[in-house]
Structures are given as C-alpha cells and as structure tokens.
Amino acid sequence: MANDEYDFLFKVVLIGDSGVGKSNLLSRFTRNEFNLDSKSTIGVEFATRSIQVDSKTIKAQIWDTAGQERYRAITSAYYRGAVGALLVYDISKHQTYENVTRWLKELRDHADSNIVIMLVGNKSDLRHLRAVPTEEAKQFASENNLSFIETSALDASNVELAFQNILTEIYRIVSSKALDNGDASQANLGAGTNITLSNAVEEGSSKGSKCC
C-alpha cells in the first residue's frame, strides 16, 4: 500500500461490545461484503480504504478490534495513534448501548484526548427488535459531543456515510490544524507531530501520538 498515493492517512478504530457488528461494518465499507455467520474477531484486523474529500485522497486505516479484549495493555495499543473512533452498539440490544459510557471512559483513558468519536447504532435493519430509540441515542451523543448515525451493515445503509462523515470531520480538523501550524506537509499520525483537534472540548493537545 506504500505505492498508492494519498494525502492523509488516518487511523480509525472500531470499538464496541462483542457482537454489535464491527467486523461486518468494516467488511461492508472496505470490501462491500457481509458475512452472516461471522465469528467473533480474534485480536485485531486491519483494513484500509481511500476516499476523496475536497480533492484530497484520504486513506483510512481501520482497526477492527475484538470487543471482548480484557487487557488494557492491548486495548491501549489499539487506540495508540488513532484519530477517530467508531463506537458501535447494537440497536436491538440495549445492553450494548448501556456499555457505550464504559467504552467512552476507556477512550478517554487510553486514546488521544482529541480523538473524533462517532456513535454508531448498527443493525438498523432490525426495526422490529429495536431496543434503543434513535432520539435517546441522539440526545446522548449531543450531550457527549459525539456525532451520531444509525447504520446497517446488512443492507449497507449509512455505512459509507458513517465513515465518510468521520473521515471528513478528522480531515477538517487536521487540515485546519495543519494550516494553523503552518505545516504544509501531510498530517502524519506516526510522525510525532502534535495534532490538535480544534473543535475538541479539551483545550490544547496534551498528548502527541508517538510513533507506534
């Protein structure tokens, strides 16, 4: 992948409870595949896909993590250098929604404080089994300064949009920050450059993403 050109490379992690459909979101986005009987992810899987924003090529390096990983040491490795996170829950399982707060806390603990987080209510195709009202989730998202979207990896609705949105948002922040810094070079995740996300609530960039 070194050979294809890109302007920005963003690392985005997919987190959320086990079984909410993270892997299928990823496969839907990167390969347009859906696997009904997929097994739970072991460790972590990677995939990349490039999209165009403002005539810039943005390459997303997406880490699909195992929802049941218990070791902080490992989860924190997942978050290292991530500029975006899709926090996924299952709209038909209320418990997964309740756990969102715990995931948020973990993000705050381990990830870059400026990380862009999007709350994703997956499995929107299961309307008849809905356990989490859209409004409630939307409310929660705005309270916590998260973007929010409901998707379905099965029927592919909003999947593209979700990634598009988060990547665009990251791009906006990064490019404005780059401009601020007068740094014309690419925003690099691993290059040790401090990336300050301007619209983040927290002031200033506290941690630089170190070379992983």
Partner 1 sequence: MATFKRAPVAGAGSNRSSILSSLKATQMIESKPILPAEIISTILDYLPIPDLISFARTSKRMLEMVYEDSRWVQRLNVMGVWNEREARKRFEGAMRRKREMMKMKHEEEAKKLGIGVNGGAGSGAANAGARKTSTTIFDAGVEEERQRRSVEVVNKPPTIRTSVDGFETLTLTPIAKPPIQRAPMLDPEALLNIFSGVKSIRGSARQEYGKIYAALAPFYFDLARSRSHVDPVIFRVYLDPEQQAQMLAHLTIFARSDWAQGWRMREERLVTMIGVFENAVLREFEQGCEAWDVDGKMRRYAHVLGVLNGGHAGIELFVQKHPLFNDRLGNSMDCINQAATDGIALDPSQQFLEKLAGKIKEQSDVIDRVFPKGEDVLQSLLDKVAEDILMEYVTPLFDEAHDRNITSYLKAVAGLFEQSMRFGLSLKASNNSGEDFPAKVEAMVARVFEPHVDLYLQEELDHFKRLAEHEVDDWEKKLSEQEATKESFFMGNFNRVADKKDFLSSFKKVVMMPVNVLPTAMSLPFGAPAPKPTIAPVANRMSLQVPSPLPSPLPSRPQTPGLGSSLPTEAPTDELAAKAALMASKLEGIRSLFSIEVALDLTHAAKASIERAALFVRLGGQTGEEAREQCEAIFVVLLSILGSRHVRTGFDKAVDHLGKYNPREVSEHQQGVAPLVTFLELVNVGDLISQMIDVFYEQQLAATKLADRNDFLDPAVKAKKKFEQMLDERVAAGLNKGIDVLMDEVEYVCGTLQKPTDFNPLPCAPGKPMDFDIGPTAAAKQIVAIVESHTKMLNGSTDKNTLDVFNQEVGLRLFTALCKHLKRQRVSTDGAIALISDMNIYFVYIRTLRNSDLLEYFKALRELSQIYLIEAKHAKELAEVIADGARFGGVFRAEEVYEFAERRADWYTVKRDVERAMYGIGCVAM
Binding site for partner 1 (CB under 8 A): 1-2, 9, 42-46, 48, 61, 71-74, 76-78, 80, 185-186, 188-193, 211-212
Write the CA distances from 65 to 15, 16, 42, 159, integer angstroms: 6, 9, 8, 17
Measured from the CB atom, is 27 or 152 closer to partner 1? 27
CA pair distance 194, 125, nearest whole angstrom: 40
Smallest distance from partner 1 to CB 54, Å? 20
Measured from the CB atom, is 28 or 123 closer to partner 1? 28
Measured from the CB atom, is 85 or 100 closer to partner 1? 85
Smallest distance from partner 1 to CB 184, Å? 12
Smallest distance from partner 1 to CB 121, Å? 28
Smallest distance from partner 1 to CB 128, Å? 33
Measured from the CB atom, is 40 or 199 closer to partner 1? 40
CA pair distance 92, 162, nearest whole angstrom: 19
- CA torsion sign for 197, 81, 190, 170 is negative
Smallest distance from partner 1 to CB 203, Å? 25
Write the CA distances from 57 to 34, 90, 91, 171, integer angstroms: 26, 31, 32, 10
The structure tokens 């979101």 sit at 25
Residue type, position 124, single letter: S
Measured from the CB atom, is 42 or 201 closer to partner 1? 42
